[in-house]
Amino acid sequence: MILGIGSDLANIERIQGVLDRYGDRFRNRVFTDTEQLKAERRADVAGTYAKRWAAKEACSKALGTGLRMGIAWKDMAVTNLRTGQPEMHLTGWAAERLAEMTPPGHEALVHVTLTDDHPWAQAFVVIEARPIA
């Protein structure tokens, strides 16, 4: 059963401009330490941040809230499995919202996919509820 779907498109050049203008203030407000370490090791730093920005926006939409209802940017974080597959982790208010959405007897799975084709980064998030076996 699908609980929510969200997508977002981010302009990589716009994110680069924000990084240039606000630097660590922006990074520390929006991205977890793990996300920052990942981005800063990549050749395309701005593209990596832009994909994660888009994933956070898409996740907030899939949760049915946008970013207006108390979700903090860092309540949604993207990491990668060893295979490179992205994973979305929810904490704080985002995790509470996910728990509220999940029907009794089900577990929620948050699927995320990221892509970029300069100057755009895009993310899709699908929240699925599966019956607990």
CATH number at residue 26: 3.90.470.20
The backbone torsions φ and ψ at residue 22, rounded to the nearest 5 degrees and listed phi first, read: -110, -15
Q: What is the pLDDT at residue 127?
A: 98
Quote the pLDDT of residue 71.
79
Look at residues 59, 44, 65, 47 and name the one whose alpha carbon lies nearest to residue 10. 47
Domain span at 83: 2-131
H helix or E strand, kind and range, residue 6: strand 2-11
pTM of the shown model: 0.94
pLDDT for the residue 68: 66
**Which whole-number Å values give the CA distances from 89 to 19, 25, 59, 75, in the listed order?**
23, 22, 10, 8
The structure tokens listed for 116 are 């970029």
**3-class SS of residue 81:** coil
Task: Domain count for the chain, please give it.
Answer: 1
Q: Which residue type does 57 have? A: E
The one-digit pLDDT tens for each residue of the chain (133 residues) are: 999 999 999 999 999 999 999 999 999 999 999 999 999 999 999 999 999 999 999 999 999 986 666 678 999 999 999 999 999 999 999 999 999 999 999 999 999 999 999 999 999 999 999 999 8
